[in-house]
Amino acid sequence: NEKCCNDIFYIPLEKPKQDSTLMVQKIEKQQKKAEELIPVTLYFHNDEPNPRTYDTTTIFAYNELYDKYILMRDEYIKMYGSKLKDEEKLNAEASIDAFFTDEVEKNYQKMLDFLQLLKQMLLQGQHIAITIKGYASPLNNHAYNLNLSKRRVQSLINMLYRYEDGLFIPFIEGKASNGGKLDIIREAYGENMVTQGVSDDLRDQRNSVYSPAAAKERKIAVIAIKFNK
């Protein structure tokens, strides 16, 4: 019957699998971007966290310490510019102000970018290892500074544990259902790695605490990232 429609058959087709080559290229691009962000350096106020203790750990997360540190910017400018006059004073104030802008703030944003990238890669099931290294300025003895640098490294690990309501925890503990894993390697060196010439005179806080040279030594850094197959 010409007026009758042909039977119509519907055969569900399997969705095409994602092109494995494109996925490999995406992963390689992410890994390269992560490697280009290294090192990521984070800075601290003097003797933070947990000042005047020999504790080797802390409950503070780095983002909490960063927020407090940024609020001290005006104090640093005032103290480092003290005892100076005219152009010398202006130059000193500008140099410590630039440290906060170019080092403290920019590196914190760099860390946030790094964590977002880390999140994406772990959610894909990648196995990643990062190495965190701690430093301290030379205002105390080696044992004290070694423990201080351990606390500083721990503050970043605390930030990782609390990131986005604990998103990284199953990866750190090796319990992620997708097989992704995050290994954290800690290195703490106290003042052993501090640049020579940084003041260690606590009576001269302008140079031993508030100078750009001293401030640049109070840091931790993600110094390496490795991708395991």
Could you give the dihedral angle defined by the CA atoms of residues 64, 181, 149 and 101, in that order, rounded to the nearest 10 degrees?
A: -50
pLDDT at 1 over 60: no
pLDDT at 140: 75
What is the mean pLDDT of the segment spanning 202-224?
A: 92
pLDDT in tens, 54-103: 999 999 999 999 999 999 999 999 999 998 999 999 999 999 999 999 99
pLDDT in tens, 131-145: 999 987 776 788 888
Q: Is the peptide bond before 39 cis (omega within 30 degrees of 0)?
A: yes
What is the mean pLDDT of the segment spanning 174-189?
A: 93
Contact 151, 55 (CB under 8 A): yes
**What would you report as the CA-atom Rg of the chain, rounded to the nearest whole angstrom?**
25
The domains located in the chain, with CATH, are 30-228 (3.30.1330.60)
pLDDT at 14 over 90: no
Percent of the chain topping pLDDT 90: 73
From the number of C-beta atoms within 10 Å of its C-beta (0-12, 13-18, 19+), residue 76 rates as buried
User: Within 10 Å of residue 144's Cβ, how many Cβ atoms?
Assistant: 17
Judged by average pLDDT, the poorest of 153-157, 181-185, 197-201 is: 197-201
0.85 exceeded by pTM: yes
